[in-house]
Structure 1
């Protein structure tokens, strides 16, 4: 029974992770108007699933890190209620954030849950040094690094774009608006219906495109293709980086074969993204900064490279933190960043770790009492 509860807890965490995280890789595709929401989430689902499958062969170090090994005594790692407390504490935190549209980090939630359940179980025997070095340090540094790198890369790309003679054109998304018919009574008791049409366009409906050629090809088509590719890289990297963190909770007690675990978790993550990703997707796509396809491509490229590099080195960085940092870096370069929304996101990040820690700690005590 306890193993079934552990499995269901890991599945709930996987679903919450997919709902909050799956759209982040393709947020710039939707935000820049390169594609619509349906196509963007479809591309995200396919590439994230591919990354999850690749994690079977490429991300064993992350599985070990998120089993809790080295943070708490080895005998505690094999206790099922410890893993259940971590999974549920992180899942509840991520799910609540998803429902209110805040893009928080599953990694951050797991670290908080590890801390809460670990301290509740062993007190001062918890390895605080490893928590800081292996977990907190990468989580703090990664969004700052992403913001700086994306800003610099965007400036470099903009320089070469101008040297190649590629220019930007702003197009207004103009549409006709018809006012309701207004009846009027004539002297001879006949009725006239008067309607009027007007043309509407707002700054929010502007679309920036690129004019010119790169190696004899349309610059806009080349950029759109690269943008799709970069979004796929980010989603692939997220699947590669996040799936092992959830699997680590199952592998520690050999509840299920690692390969089957990753496939099951990958499927459930995909379902979470398809069903519950809309609110977080809109926040990431529309509310941090307006962007065009070139800016979106730059942010995705930086995010994908940083997260993939971190995965190969076993560093548990947050795709959320890196992605938001990259988008904010672009907004800083263009001076269009929505600082109010960024402040709300930062506040949600600050609350993530303590909330997950409190929930997982209380769950551990409750399960320990009942067992």
Structure 2
């Protein structure tokens, strides 16, 4: 009897401990978002304290502290939203686990920001707002602060609804809104804004078309060949060499443009030479990888895993070099005007501001990045290493083409457009095969049209959400910026 009572007591204790462990797990799950928000808040406060210490009792210290706070907030949002476009396809293709992808991206983004982010950034675009329209220091400071605040708020909202938007567009919209509020509609060069907006709409279409073209090429030249191994040994090194050349040119044109100005012809020549080197080096690597694999489609797709990882690293480095200016550009302008009382078109960036931008992007990626990475990599359309490689290659080539033509495009739009391009191409190809097979069946065995609708490979809900967010990014950030500018000037 005593033994039975003891066993019953131990069972009750085990049950109670199990309930306690479940409660602890639930508490940890609930506290996780609070922890991320707490760390982000601590970083923002630290940025403000740094600005306060460095400026001491100087004039305009409070404005600089506020700008540092919102600059850090913007950098966190850049990391949370924009970086998903670089690492999302690699994670969705299972080429990298989430933790490794975030770590690599954080290192590459920080390196790009600190090594190639440049010593000078443009504080306000002369092509968008006429430089003589903002004539006083106070108006310039409030305009930059309003643009920074509105852009950060809008990117935060977009991240919350899982919409990858362009932080560049958000900043431009903020500058337009602040410029209109400061000096009226005549302050903005509307023809230039219209041209830029048109390029933003065209670039994702081009990115999608290029990605679909490469996917169709790989399927025709490798996957549908009888001897897939021989075809892979021929074409994979060529595609890897093209990728290496494209990214070398991309880095010269975009990633390093603030360190050294490279002539486009020289950039293309350098990229072509590096592409030939990688083509030659990849040949023995592909031969070793294909020595003991089966002549199947799935085995061929594995050959694109390593090139995809390298492409994602280069994209993250170039993104850190370029888009860190979205967070620190307005902040650098405010600091320069407050310190030197000079309305310059370009200003030098102090090292502490560069650190805020670099570490802010990394913190945003670690704390909030997985949400958008999963959406881009797994929830728009199904990806593998081959499809994700096409997306990365299309992104680099489209950015190079746009830079050659002088079009101000968004890497975010191009990358997401490439994801949709791959998905819609697969959908079109599947639909074509479905129609052909359905027509060959007897009438009584033909499948209903509803079954065809269920076979859609691109989620329409995400497509509409992202498209809608893209369309309202500039006007939304502009309206918020104008309202914030009005409040700042009213209470000053």
Shorter-chain TM-score bucket reads 0.7 to 0.9
Q: Secondary structure at the match of 1:216?
A: helix
Is the 8 Å Cα contact of residues 6 and 80 (structure 1) preserved in structure 2?
A: no
Q: Deviations over 1:136-186 (max 9, x none)?
A: 233222111101111112112222323461499xxxxxxxxxxxxxxxxxx
Match of 1:72 in 2: 129
**Matches for 1:138-157 after TM superposition, within 5 Å:** 138-157=199-218
Unaligned runs of 5+ in 2: 1-61, 233-284, 291-299, 338-346, 428-456
Aligned pairs (5 A) from 1:262-301:
262-301=354-393
Pick aligned residue for 2:468 from 320, 335, 347: 347
CA distance in 2 between partners of 1:150 and 1:249 (Å): 34
Structure index of larger Rg: 2
How many angstroms apart in 2 are the aligned matches of 1:329 and 1:72?
34
1:240·1:311 contact (CA, 8 Å) conserved in 2? no
Which residue of 1 is the match for residue 113 of structure 2? 52
* Contact kept in structure 2, 1:23 and 1:277, CA below 8 Å: yes
Post-superposition Cα deviations, 1:326-366, rounded to whole Å, max 9, x if no partner, equal 11111112112222321121112122222211111100001
Secondary structure of 2:197's match?
helix
Report the counterpart of residue 165 of structure 1 in structure 2.
Answer: 228
Aligned residues: 322
Alpha-carbon separation, structure 2, partners of 1:252 and 1:69 = 14
Residue 303 of structure 1 is aligned with which of 395, 408, 417?
395
More helix, by proportion: 2
In the TM superposition, what whole-angstrom CA distance separates every residue of 1:92-120 from its partner, at most 9, and x where no partner exists?
00011112222122122112212211111
> Partners of 2:487 and 2:406 in 1: how far apart?
32
Cα deviation, residue 220, structure 1: 5.4
| TM-score, with length taken from structure 2 | 0.61
Cα distance between partner residues in 1 of 2:400 and 2:107: 17
The counterpart of 1:239, out of the listed 320, 337, 354, is 320
User: Is 1:72–1:118's contact at 8 Å kept on the other side of the alignment?
Assistant: yes
Q: Residues 238 and 307 of structure 1 are in contact (CA less than 8 Å); yes or no, is this contact kept in structure 2?
A: no
In 2, Cα distance between equivalents of 1:326 and 1:262: 31
What corresponds to 1:249 in structure 2? 330
Q: For residue 195 of structure 1, what is the aligned residue in structure 2? A: none
RMSD: 2.6
Aligned match of 1:364: 485
Distance 2:419 2:488 in 1: 41
- TM-score w.r.t. the length of structure 1 is 0.79
Instruction: Compare relative contact order (CA 8 Å, sep 6+) and give the higher one, 1 or 2.
Output: 1
Question: What's the secondary structure of 1:157's corresponding residue?
Answer: helix
Question: For the residues of structure 2 that align with 1:122 and 1:19, how far apart are their CA atoms?
Answer: 33
Q: Using the alignment, how far apart are the partners of 2:307 and 2:470 within structure 1?
A: 30
Deviation at 1:259, TM superposition (A): 5.3
Conservation of the 8 A alpha-carbon contact between 2:302 and 2:385: no
2:414 aligned residue (314, 322, 333): 322
